[in-house]
Amino acid sequence: MDYPDALNKLIESFMRYPGIGKKTAERYAFHTLHRFENEDIADFIDSLHRVKEEIKPCEQCGHLTDDSTCVICKDTRRDQTKILVVETSRDVIVIERSRSYDGLYHVLDGVIAPSEGIGPEDIRIKPLLERLRNDDVKEVILALNLSDEGETTAMYINRLLEKTDLLCTRIAYGLPAGGNIGYADVVTLHKALEGRKKY
């Protein structure tokens, strides 16, 4: 004895998401059944339909867009001399929300991870090099996560750029705002000390 088929299927779909277990999936399925108007369901279905069809990477930077070029690449008022390199489109959104950067981006769509068989040719490094042929670009800022893969990828890109006139920089790593030294991990503390500045 369990749920009717359609309800079971909906529960299974919710369980495909990270962190959603059976109980939560059931809760969402019941919420859909009892609280969603037909219009809400139609909206949900429509957005699921559209998301795979319309959303694609920007031809230039790789950021998600529903056009051939994303709004950031289109914006000529932005500083065209800087390209900030990130792992994912989400990183772009988060940095944009922080309003701390006004140059261009480049989304790698991953990092070099030899243990998972992901090499430099599997991420968008080649399109980055092509963009760097443009004379406007003066600086490449690496904003990769503080992980073995992030370090490997940063090192790899930095080495490629050593032969060029481009300035290659990295964002700072250290103790985050609200972070507690007593609970910080070894890598963060190491980076925080290594990156110390004169007061």
Contact positions vs its own copies (CB under 8 A): 1-7, 9-10, 12-13, 16-18, 26-33, 36, 38, 40-41, 43-55, 64-67, 71-72, 89-90, 93, 96
Q: Supply the minimum distance, in Å, between the C-beta of residue 70 and its own copies.
A: 8
Task: Give the bridge partners for 154, in sequence order.
Answer: none
Q: Supply the minimum distance, in Å, between the C-beta of residue 84 and its own copies.
A: 14
Closest to its own copies by CB, 57 vs 174, is 57
Closest to its own copies by CB, 42 vs 155, is 42
Q: Supply the minimum distance, in Å, between the C-beta of residue 173 and its own copies.
A: 22
Supply the Cα-derived Rg of the chain in whole angstroms. 22
- CA 120 to chain centroid, in Å, comes to 17
Q: Supply the minimum distance, in Å, between the C-beta of residue 57 and its own copies.
A: 11
Q: Supply the minimum distance, in Å, between the C-beta of residue 76 and its own copies.
A: 15
Closest to its own copies by CB, 12 vs 130, is 12
CA distances from residue 140 to 41, 71, 76, 131, 189 in whole angstroms, order as listed: 44, 20, 18, 11, 26
Closest to its own copies by CB, 34 vs 196, is 34
Locate tokens 């950031």: which residue? 72
Closest CA to 63 of 85, 79, 43: 85
Q: Are 63 and 89 in contact (CB under 8 A)?
A: yes
Q: Is residue 14 classed as helix, strand or coil in its secondary structure?
A: helix
Longest dimension (CA), the chain: 69
Closest to its own copies by CB, 55 vs 167, is 55
Residue 39, phi then psi, degrees to nearest 5: -65, -40
